Amino acid sequence: MNRYPRDMHGYGPTPPHANWPGGAHIAVQFVLNYEEGGENNILHGDAGSEAFLADVVGAAPWPGLRHWNIESMYEYGARAGFWRLHRLFTEARLPVTIYGVATALMRAPAQLAAMQDAGWEIASHGLKWVEHKDMPAELEREQIREAIRLHTIATGSRPLGWYTGRCSLNTVDLVSEEGGFAYVSDTYDDDLPYWRVHQNRPQLILPYTLSANDMRFVTASGFDNGEEYFQFLKDSFDCLYAEGQAGSPKMMSIGLHCRLVGQPGRFQGLKKFIDYIKSFPQVWVPTRLQIAEHWTREHPYQAPALVPSRLPKPEFVERFGSIFEHSPWIAERAWDGELAPANDTAIGLHFALRTQFRLASDEERLAVLRAHPDLAGKLATARRLTEASTAEQASAGLDALTDDERAEFTRLNTAYVEKFGFPFIIAVRDNTKATILAAFRQRLDNSPQAEFTTACRQVERIAQLRLQAILP
């Protein structure tokens, strides 16, 4: 048994319709990360100075030392950048979600008051703006709880949204276990919210962005100036807006930092983008909490009726052992192999089962072919077919043949088995009585190897159709 935990399927080719308020074609959501005063600093009890997301090329932490230049760049965000962005959004009357580091909020009374006076959502950005990848799970759990406690003291209410940012592999699970959050945003894997189940508890996930994030002003292959930033945001908006017009509305997240896009030379690109989107109809600019509340109303969590990758082996084999006719060993091998959320659909599980069929020896696959009944043969007449085979043959009218038709099928079955050593196999649901007979006569002229290959393909197609009848 090998279970791959990553979900590489998501919504697949048919995402749900977002139903944004007012029939909006797109939800554009602005996040302002407030980290200044919560970053690594020996003043904060950390081992060294900060080195991340600041205008110092090649910066590295200074163990046991303060870094005056880095500190002053973070201070610029609090002293100047924040207020420039505050004026922009309040004058444009656009809501903002703050990702507030708890210790940073505790050192920003004026900025916090301005956020609350503007009616902005203040979500939690963790206790401190530090790296969590090597942090023990229990310590991270403690820091999550302390972040909630300080956030509540600072703002007057507990946070309903969460984003750590510099997270660990445990972060989303730990926040889900803590509970009380309308959404968690420590993912970058979709253009729409989705439900994630952990310990049998559904948690709404609102994916965030690092692509449309002003952090790329200070990272490799990023933005050199505000015009480049504007062009990237504009192109992203245009793509998603067009998809929304075509009937598939999405969410666009934009990540901002006071010390980065708050700089004058970068700020103009953001301002230009805001002016641009305000010229479009049917654009919804909400907070992340508003998106979460909307999604919870419009798309509440619904437990799937069947999740193949989570089934115990006996139940998995019982349900899917007959997908390949009388060959449960294929399902057994699939269960023992790698299964993942991507295998929980008809296409995905068919791939897993088909892979085991293709990996099997020629002798094993020949046994699968021989396990199939003749079309309109003796087993059908005696009503000894499997339930699936009975329904399939009936779908093409093979259970209601005339005497002449039955005689023709008997003749062809006999000739086929004598030549190839296994019954004629065809995906009956793809055919009619006439096309089946035509294929029968045509394939009798095949070479044994060509017909073996053709029959195996038909077996795979039959399995696919059977799975489509019971899985999404």
- The residues carrying an active-site annotation are 372
Residue 45 is encoded by which pair of tokens? 């009890």
Residues 6+ away with beta carbon under 8 Å from 376: 393, 398, 399, 401, 405, 406, 409, 410, 413
Query: Cα(76)–Cα(36) distance, rounded to whole angstroms?
Result: 9
Residues 373, 375, 377, 379: is their CA dihedral positive or negative? positive
Please list the residues that pair with 195 across neighbouring strands: 204
Residue 79 DSSP symbol: I
- Length of the chain, please? 472
Please list the residues that pair with 30 across neighbouring strands: 254
Q: Which of 234, 208, 178, 212 is nearest to 291 (CA)?
A: 208
Query: Cα(354)–Cα(125) distance, rounded to whole angstroms?
Result: 45
Query: φ and ψ at 10, to 5 degrees?
Result: 60, -135
Query: Cα(285)–Cα(278) distance, rounded to whole angstroms?
Result: 10
Distance of CA 399 to the CA centre of its chain: 45
Number of H helices, E strands in the chain: 18, 11
Contact yes or no for 262/77 (Cβ under 8 A): yes
